[in-house]
Structure 1
């Protein structure tokens, strides 16, 4: 059991030291992507998608509440009960 301990610690030291393989070159501005196309067209397309997602979420939540209320699963407590029983 004690024989394997130096081997494991030696392997762990070597794996930690191999963080960078070869020579490390820091990133530069030349490696950044170059913008292409109209930002306004992309913005408008994203906004249409986000608004559609928002409308779907609101419609789904409203329909879920309506179905739960109609089936009697929930009571929204918007008025006092008709009787105290």
Structure 2
């Protein structure tokens, strides 16, 4: 088993090392600034269009959140405790302590 592991390590090491140094080829040309895309068109109109789209998404998300929050409160699936309870609890002399004798 150990001999197989050493064999795989040696062969994989050779393959990976040959790939590592393959970029030292003289035919390879490094990237430079002339290969970058050149923007064309008016930047202001592109920016205004993108901002308009993002603002519509923001307003839609805010409206959906408000709608879902109102529906959760309306249907009673969530109670947010905005106000104190309408009826206070019973006076303390009406409450009996639990008998913990076991």
TM-based fold match above 0.5: yes
Aligned residue number for residue 3 of structure 1: 3
1:24-76 Cα distance to aligned partner (Å, 9 max, x none): 43210111001111101110110011001101110110001011000001112
Q: How many residues in Structure 1 have an aligned counterpart in Structure 2?
A: 85
Distance 1:20 1:43, change over 3 A: farther
Where structure 1 has 5 or more consecutive residues not aligned to the other structure, the ranges are none
Instruction: Give the structure-2-normalised TM-score.
Output: 0.72
RMSD (Å), alpha carbons = 1.8
Structure 1's consecutive aligned runs of 4 or more residues displaced over 3 angstroms after TM superposition are 19-22
In 2, the alpha carbon distance for the partners of 1:84 and 1:56 equals 41
Instruction: Give the structure-1-normalised TM-score.
Output: 0.84
Where structure 2 has 5 or more consecutive residues not aligned to the other structure, the ranges are 90-102
Q: Which protein has the larger Cα radius of gyration, Structure 1 or Structure 2?
A: 2
Deviates more, 1:12-21 or 1:23-32: 12-21
> Which structure ranks higher in relative contact order (CA pairs < 8 Å, sequence separation ≥ 6)?
1
